[in-house]
Amino acid sequence: AQDCQVANIQVMQNFNKTMYAGTWYAVGKKDPDGLFLLDNIVATFSIGEDGKMTATAKGRVIILDNWEMCAEMFGTFEETPEPAKFKMKYWGAASYLQSGNDNHWVIDTDYDNYAIHYSCRVVDTDGTCLDSYSLIFSRHPTGLRAEDQPTVTQKKLELCLLGKYRRVPHTGELISTKRPQF
Ligand code: DAO
């Protein structure tokens, strides 16, 4: 049963960041309040010589209500006593992009095909999450393999987010220049 308590959320056991490194395509997303990344979201994680994880991410965003553009984002990860729970500091290549500090939890992954990310930004007074976002990652831009779908559905349920995700399209039409959307 799901009690939806943020403190009780199970994360990936014995998380191995080296196996996690490389490129992941977001194929599903539960948006936070104040949605930022829309679609064509691709994240690449690297482990530096210092053993620290960093990431670059690209995605299509809408800023100032009607400017559609490709955002180039950077993230650095601070480790915690639980290997799958990180604190992520993130910022954009341009000053008008979002920046901040988020939790970054790896809920489950098989390293080769799928990964489930979760971030609670605001914990409510009752211990449930008031503002969360979650990305479903695939190593394949075409989406999840059929055999991984039951696992992902079960984890969405455990996160109390089943039915709250949308599909993240990969149209390959990302352009870096700012253009108005009429
Ligand atoms: O899309 O509304 C949103 C929230 C996403 C904020 C985080 C974006 C930057 C990520 C960089 C690192 C890789 C996951």
Task: Tell me whether strands 179-180 and 22-30 are parallel, antiparallel or unpaired.
Answer: unpaired
The reply to whether ligand 1 has any atom less than 6 angstroms from the CB of 159 is: no
Mutate to test the pocket of ligand 1, among 17, 36, 102 (most ligand atoms within 8 A of CB): 36
The reply to whether ligand 1 has any atom less than 6 angstroms from the CB of 61 is: no
Q: Is 168 exposed, middle or buried (0-12, 13-18, 19+ CB in 10 A)?
A: buried
**Amino acid at the residue 44:** T
Predicted model pTM: 0.93
Q: Could you report the per-residue pLDDT of 24-36, keeping only the tens digit for each?
A: 999 999 999 988 8
Half-sphere exposure of 153 (CA within 13 A, CB side): 6
Q: Which residues contact 82 (CB under 8 A, 6 or more apart)?
A: 11
| 81 Cα to the center of ligand 1, angstroms | 23
Q: Tell whether the model's pLDDT for residue 181 goes beyond 50.
A: no
How large is the ipTM? 0.95
Mutate to test the pocket of ligand 1, among 60, 73, 138 (most ligand atoms within 8 A of CB): 73
Q: Could you report the per-residue pLDDT of 42-69, keeping only the tens digit for each?
A: 999 999 999 999 999 999 998 877 778 8
Q: Which residues contact 156 (CB under 8 A, 6 or more apart)?
A: 116, 134, 136, 162, 163, 164, 165
Q: Could you report the per-residue pLDDT of 142-176, keeping only the tens digit for each?
A: 999 999 999 999 999 999 999 999 999 998 866 54
| 104 Cα to the center of ligand 1, angstroms | 10
| 37 Cα to the center of ligand 1, angstroms | 7
| 78 Cα to the center of ligand 1, angstroms | 15
